[in-house]
A and B are shown apart, each in its own frame.
Chain A
């Protein structure tokens, strides 16, 4: 019999404490907790209250070193392709064109003075596939591929997820390719001529 009443008593007591807690929260609902980020010094001095943020109007605090959407500072990119090989899910696609000898000056140097040897007409990152693991940013020699703390970049059309960082328009790229092709043809022609002369000399020499 005592267990029967004990049951009812503990039931009532624990339900009362539970109700007390929720009522305390109910009456505490007049305060709203601020939207300071974790990297803010007085994050824990904010008042305890409603802690939800209204997302589109109020921004969710992300720290400065947040690793989210990729950004490639194309001027510093030397087109080495390390990131393309390092990416586990191969969501980076890149095309490079060799810089012709006389264009070196035009092509310019990277910010730390390294001479760039490739034009990069196409440098696409498929942000839908990218899982921001950061493998590419660590292998990048000139550290031009960096994470930005932008974490909400939804689109209506799936193709907008492919970000283009290439700095050559299609026409310029065509021009560069044609020029390279000519240079190669010329170099080939010279080599054959030289080989033919060398052949002639050796015949002549005997």
Chain B
């Protein structure tokens, strides 16, 4: 199964259309479309069902057998909804906002290795690119917030800029600990370094005794970066109505929604790659029962990274439906006074561990 896949992707890569490397574009597009569609449907439907089960209620049951078609119903609803642009809105910014937001959150998918064969762009500075590109979202949010000429969305936009920009620092440092353990920024290389017959024992999380600290710090910081769970202050429903996307309806709202779920999955994918061995299977080889070998390979790889990603999406949803929301200044306190110092501590300890312990 593995090699036929490689042959097929070699052929596709060779396909040129009037000198345009169309094949490569298609290869890069496949994970995007697959992930976008999959994470959106799983995200929206999963969020509704998981939150329902946590709150002793049934969740959507009307559309489809167990409410399966609920996401399609949502998309259809959003499609046929009128796309209102407020009269006094700054038209250009209002329209460009969601676009930049969507692009910002999906560009990082280019560098994520979905299996040994599948990676959009195998940059050797993949991790650096992933961290940097997410910052475009801030521009999109500001444009959306300012463009809709509504006091509440202005509040939401300003708050989210402060939040995303300040949380990038602990997130970056925590990821650097992972990169230090791997010694490279190339995502594919990081994942390969974590493969081995002992399965999960090779993952960086278990490689060094301090690795759980950057893992935890990055997870919390990533929550803040995608405006989720206790840090959903920009679109705090009870205070700012809906933050920067108050005025959006129809397809623009769907795009922002898609961007949020896309970046939710992207953040979970990054944390699985850096700390939990991306597409390597966690099952160890027990003597003759070589579970690891059986469950590895290009297609298995995709399954593993997606299932780990969905586990982290579940944890994000789990946090969202349990915890109240932090206030903006408490958010900053947590970032600068708690996460960043601990990130530096973990950075130093990982360095010591990497240098002195072979």
In whole Å, how far is A33's beta carbon from the nearest beta carbon of chain B? 8
The CA of A21 and the CA of B318, in the complex, are separated in Å by 11
Q: Determine whether the beta carbon of B318 is less than 8 Å from that of A50.
A: no
Q: Which residues of chain A are within 8 angstroms of B63 by Cβ–Cβ distance?
A: none
Q: Which of A23-31, A108-116, A164-172, A175-183 contacts its partner?
A: A23-31
With known contacts A8-B338, A26-B50, A51–B322 Cβ distance under 8 A: no
With known contacts A15-B323, A26-B50, A51–B318 Cβ distance under 8 A: no
Asked whether any CB of chain A lies closer than 8 Å to the CB of B26, the reply is no
Asked whether any CB of chain B lies closer than 8 Å to the CB of A49, the reply is yes
Q: Taking CB as reference atom, which chain B residue is nearest A7?
A: B338
Asked whether any CB of chain B lies closer than 8 Å to the CB of A19, the reply is yes
Asked whether any CB of chain A lies closer than 8 Å to the CB of B353, the reply is no
Decide if the interface of chain A is mainly helix, strand, loop or mixed: helix
Q: Determine whether the beta carbon of B54 is less than 8 Å from that of A25.
A: yes
* Residue from A8, A19, A50 within 8 A of B53 (CB atoms): A50
With known contacts A52-B58, A54-B61, A23–B53 Cβ distance under 8 A: no
Asked whether any CB of chain A lies closer than 8 Å to the CB of B55, the reply is yes
Q: Which residues of chain A are within 8 angstroms of B61 by Cβ–Cβ distance?
A: 54
Within 8 A of B (CB), among A3-35: 4, 8, 15, 18-19, 21-23, 25-26, 29, 32
Q: Which residues of chain B are within 8 angstroms of A8 by Cβ–Cβ distance?
A: 338
How many residues of A are in contact with the other chain, CB < 8 A? Answer: 17
Using C-beta atoms within 8 Å of the partner chain, give the interface range for chain B.
10 to 19
The CA of A39 and the CA of B56, in the complex, are separated in Å by 22
Q: Which residues of chain B are within 8 angstroms of A32 by Cβ–Cβ distance?
A: 58
In whole Å, how far is A165's beta carbon from the nearest beta carbon of chain B? 37
In whole Å, how far is A78's beta carbon from the nearest beta carbon of chain B? 49
The CA of A52 and the CA of B49, in the complex, are separated in Å by 13
Q: Which residues of chain B are within 8 angstroms of A51 by Cβ–Cβ distance?
A: 56-57
Q: Which residues of chain B are within 8 angstroms of A23 by Cβ–Cβ distance?
A: 54, 318
* Residue from B57, B321, B322 within 8 A of A50 (CB atoms): B57
The CA of A22 and the CA of B57, in the complex, are separated in Å by 12
Would you mind naming 8 contact pairs between A and B with Cβ atoms under 8 Å apart?
Answer: A19-B318, A25-B56, A26-B50, A26-B318, A29-B52, A52-B56, A52-B58, A54-B61
Q: Which residues of A contact B (CB under 8 A)?
A: 4, 8, 15, 18-19, 21-23, 25-26, 29, 32, 49-52, 54
Apart from the given pairs A23-B54, A25-B55, A26-B318, 10 other A-B contacts in the complex at a CB distance below 8 Å: A15-B323, A18-B322, A18-B323, A19-B319, A25-B53, A26-B50, A26-B54, A49-B56, A52-B57, A52-B58
